[in-house]
């Protein structure tokens, strides 16, 4: 089971820089603008995409907790209530996209920071099924998966930052840094409209930085 401390810090943060202390010791740290510049530029291609090509919410470490449960347990700000093998039925979560505090896990979705369809468009179409499964269940980085209100996750859908941003304005610099960190972690590309939007947003984020560690080979 992933530790609650590291992910809890990420869930509580509303600015980019406090996240840096929670990053792995071997992570790369660069300016947000430099992180955006490091994203390989390429057109998107959704040909052949199916959500089922990303097997997700698995019990990777065989502790009877699925990826969804692992994130809920780790991000709860209070001791989570668990029933049965590993069903999370209570806790306290902060949805940083919209600034709402939630106590009913049924009202939360676990958002893939870079949606599965966007990942497919940006290079995951060339991955093996095993690597897509690793991506969809990435518990190795606090930024990859986040518990947020279902309404904001479904509003976001598969859109990139050129098309959708968190409704809470104070969350946007963190969101942009998380997005860039995730794309760099998985060596995903970005298209021109996405890069333009990221740069425009980064201009208002001061000395924000991104910190990431490359995903392990699958």
Task: Please state, as a whole number, how many other Cβ atoms lie within 10 Å of the Cβ of residue 74.
Answer: 22
70-104: pLDDT as tens digits:
999 999 999 999 999 999 999 999 999 999 999 99
Instruction: Answer yes or no: is pLDDT of 131 > 50.
Output: yes
Instruction: Answer yes or no: is pLDDT of 132 > 70.
Output: yes
Tokens representing 111 are 């958002």
Cβ-proximal residues to 78 (8 Å cutoff; 6+ apart), any chain: 91, 92
For the chain, the average pLDDT equals 90
Structure confidence at residue 26 (pLDDT): 66
Instruction: Answer yes or no: is pLDDT of 189 > 70.
Output: yes
3-state secondary structure of 201: helix
Q: How much of the chain, in percent, has pLDDT values that exceed 90?
A: 87
Structure confidence at residue 9 (pLDDT): 40
**Beta strand 81-83 with 87-90: parallel, antiparallel or unpaired?**
antiparallel
Structure confidence at residue 28 (pLDDT): 85
Confidence of residue 27 (pLDDT cuts 50, 70, 90): confident
28-40: pLDDT as tens digits:
899 999 999 999 9
């Amino acid at each position: 089971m992933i530790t609650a401390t590291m992910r809890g810090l990420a869930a509580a943060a509303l600015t980019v820089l406090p996240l840096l202390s929670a990053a792995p010791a071997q992570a790369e740290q660069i300016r947000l603008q430099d992180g955006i510049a490091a994203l390989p530029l390429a057109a998107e291609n959704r040909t052949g995409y199916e959500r089922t090509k990303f097997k997700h919410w698995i019990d990777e470490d065989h502790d009877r907790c699925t990826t969804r449960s692992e994130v809920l347990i780790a991000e709860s700000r209070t001791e989570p209530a668990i029933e049965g093998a590993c069903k999370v039925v209570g806790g306290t979560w902060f949805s940083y996209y919209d600034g709402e505090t939630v106590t009913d896990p049924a009202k939360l979705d676990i958002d893939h920071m870079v949606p599965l369809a966007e990942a497919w468009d940006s290079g995951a179409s060339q991955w093996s099924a095993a690597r897509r499964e690793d991506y969809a269940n990435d518990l190795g980085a606090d930024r990859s998966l986040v518990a947020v209100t279902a309404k904001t996750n479904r509003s976001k859908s598969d859109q990139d930052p050129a098309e959708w941003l968190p409704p809470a304005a104070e969350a946007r610099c963190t969101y942009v840094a998380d997005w860039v960190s995730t794309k760099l972690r998985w060596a995903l590309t970005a298209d021109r409209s996405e890069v333009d939007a990221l740069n425009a947003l980064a201009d208002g984020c001061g000395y924000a930085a991104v910190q990431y560690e490359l995903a392990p080979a699958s």
